[in-house]
């Protein structure tokens, strides 16, 4: 994860965020995982889904992760 991604995850984990912020955090991490960077390859879509589901109960609101992924992969 990039430094920006870690900062978003730690901020969301505190539990003091509104629903919109939790949705944006999941979107930001999904974009960071699937986007190309000069220092690592991008995750394949199924790898990003596995990562988000795995982090769903730990870093993010699990309901937000499920709704987000259902909207992307109906």
pLDDT value at position 3?
45
Per domain, the residue ranges of the chain are 3-72
Q: Going by C-beta distance under 8 Å and a sequence separation of 6 or more, which residues neighbour residue 60?
A: 9, 12, 22, 25, 26, 29, 52
Main-chain phi, psi angles of 38, to 5 degrees: -70, -20
23 confidence band (pLDDT: 50, 70, 90): confident
Taking residues 63-73, report their average pLDDT: 88
Average pLDDT, the chain: 79
Taking residues 49-73, report their average pLDDT: 86
pLDDT value at position 43?
92
Q: What is the pTM of this model?
A: 0.73
């Amino acid at each position: 994860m990039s430094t920006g991604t870690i900062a978003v995850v730690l901020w969301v984990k505190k539990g003091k965020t509104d629903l919109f912020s939790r949705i944006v955090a999941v979107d930001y991490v999904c974009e960071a995982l699937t986007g190309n960077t000069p220092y690592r390859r991008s995750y394949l879509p199924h790898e990003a889904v596995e990562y988000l589901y795995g982090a769903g109960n730990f870093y993010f609101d699990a309901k937000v992760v499920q709704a987000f992924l259902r909207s992307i992969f109906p």
